[in-house]
């Protein structure tokens, strides 16, 4: 069964065809990153407008690369939240039109749930529940216990900045441009064992995250308010190490406390090389991390998750609206 997945929740126009929820036949991502880079971050209005001309070519290319036509597709799965309202509207309305015109079921997908399903695309491993999921992206840092398909319990979240947001803000402080995550990842590679140690936030709720204090600390160091300024690579590496340590320590603690059988890491920040390496190294449980291209936003994860939702009978009416603040668990 082939599902067409469509994703427009932020600044990527993406479409993909996935067979039986696991086998990726195509995945096309048109990134607007250059358009937003000059503003230092995603501008919602520009993102929404840019999805419009990109939508049809991206979907056409996804079908072409999968060597299939719309008549071969069993359903159209689309992100309806969370994300930027205007951006989500473009993908959802396009998917509605396509589903209506081709008499296909319209399957609504929660973007965060989509990130999780990226873990099983083109992999041998089967889902093993309960699984501890760490979703770290530009907008979210969630620790979730996945008890079964479609059954989630949110254990923790960020109380201020999301992990990706912290990477982006610190990159700006270091003059590295947008998006900051990949730039910090690269620069930190030049200082593999930083001597500088930055603090880890301590919170009352053990599975919650906080990154704004760390960002302020970096800001003070950059401004010379904390004595001699270290090299930018040293600072980037120390920041990255602090974020990774918090994420991994809390994920492993939650997995042990809740008897998880598998750990899943996903979302854009899961593309971070140190986070991937440290989690695998410290985890006593099997760790599933999608390849970097499936960690950042894509249509394949929406198609994969959509397959599951379709099997569960989750078909939307054509008056479904976007849910920019949608959560998981």
Our measurement of the distance from residue 291's CA atom to the centroid of its chain's CA atoms, rounded to an integer in Å, reads 12
Rule CB under 6 A: is residue 114 a binding residue for ligand KG4?
Answer: no
Q: Exposed (0-12), middle (13-18) or buried (19+): which is 40, by Cβ within 10 Å?
A: middle
Residue 185 binding ligand KG4, by CB under 6 A = yes
- Rounded-to-integer distance, Cα 32 and Cα 12, Å: 6
Question: With CB under 6 A as the contact rule, which of the stretches 29-37, 67-75, 192-200, 264-272 interacts with ligand KG4?
Answer: 264-272
Q: Is 182 in the site for ligand KG4 (CB under 6 A)?
A: yes
Residue 262 touches ligand KG4, criterion: CB under 6 A: no
Instruction: Tell me if 30 contacts ligand KG4 by CB under 6 A.
Output: no
Residue 256 Cβ vs ligand KG4, minimum distance, rounded to whole Å: 25
113 binds ligand KG4 (CB under 6 A): no
Bridge-based pairing state of the strands 131-136 and 106-110: unpaired
Counted residue by residue, the chain has a size of 329
**Which secondary-structure segment (H or E) carries 143?**
strand 141-148
Confirm or reject binding of residue 271 to ligand KG4 (CB under 6 A).
yes
Query: Cβ 101 to Zn ion, closest distance in Å?
Result: 28
Q: What's the min distance (Å) between Cβ of 67 and ligand KG4?
A: 27
Question: What is the distance between the alpha carbons of residues 132 and 262, in angstroms, rounded to a whole number?
Answer: 6
Binding partner selected for residue 269 from Zn ion, ligand KG4, none, CB under the kind-specific 5 to 8 Å limit:
ligand KG4
Query: Which does residue 271 bind out of Zn ion, ligand KG4, none, counting CB within 5 to 8 angstroms by kind?
Result: ligand KG4
SS3 category, 182: helix
Q: Is there binding between residue 80 and ligand KG4 (CB under 6 A)?
A: no
Supply the DSSP symbol for 127. Answer: P
Helix, strand, coil shares of the chain, percent, nearest 5, are 45, 20, 35
Residues forming contacts to ligand KG4 in the complex (CB under 6 A) are 10, 137-139, 164, 167-168, 179-182, 185, 267-269, 271-272, 296-297
């Amino acid at each position: 069964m082939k599902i067409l997945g469509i994703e427009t929740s932020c600044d990527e126009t993406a479409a993909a065809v996935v067979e039986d929820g696991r086998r990726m036949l195509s995945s096309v991502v048109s990134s607007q990153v250059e358009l937003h880079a000059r503003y230092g971050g995603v501008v919602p209005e520009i993102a929404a407008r840019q999805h419009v001309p990109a939508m049809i070519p991206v979907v056409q290319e996804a079908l072409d690369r999968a060597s299939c036509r719309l008549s071969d597709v069993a359903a159209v799965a689309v992100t309806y939240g969370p994300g930027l309202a205007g951006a989500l509207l473009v993908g959802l309305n396009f998917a509605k039109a396509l589903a209506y015109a081709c008499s296909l079921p319209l399957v609504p997908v929660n973007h965060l749930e989509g990130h999780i399903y990226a873990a099983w695309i083109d992999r041998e491993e089967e889902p093993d529940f309960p699984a501890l999921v760490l979703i770290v992206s530009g907008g979210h840092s969630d620790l979730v216990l996945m008890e079964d398909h479609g059954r989630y319990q949110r254990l923790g979240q960020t109380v201020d900045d999301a992990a990706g947001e912290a990477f982006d803000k610190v990159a700006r402080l270091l003059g590295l441009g947008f998006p900051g995550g990949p730039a910090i990842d690269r620069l930190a590679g030049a200082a593999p064992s930083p001597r500088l140690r930055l603090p880890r936030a301590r919170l009352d709720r053990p599975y919650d995250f906080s990154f704004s204090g760390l960002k302020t600390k970096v800001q003070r160091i950059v401004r010379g308010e904390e004595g001699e300024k270290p090299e930018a690579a040293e600072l980037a590496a120390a920041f990255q190490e602090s974020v990774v340590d918090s994420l991994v320590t809390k994920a492993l603690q939650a997995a042990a406390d809740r008897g998880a059988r598998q750990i899943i890491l996903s979302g854009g920040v899961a593309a971070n090389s140190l986070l991937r390496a440290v989690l695998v190294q410290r985890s006593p449980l099997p760790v599933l991390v999608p390849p970097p291209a499936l960690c950042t936003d894509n249509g394949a994860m929406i198609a994969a998750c959509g397959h599951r939702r379709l099997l569960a009978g989750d078909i939307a009416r054509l008056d479904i609206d976007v849910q920019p603040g949608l959560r998981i668990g």
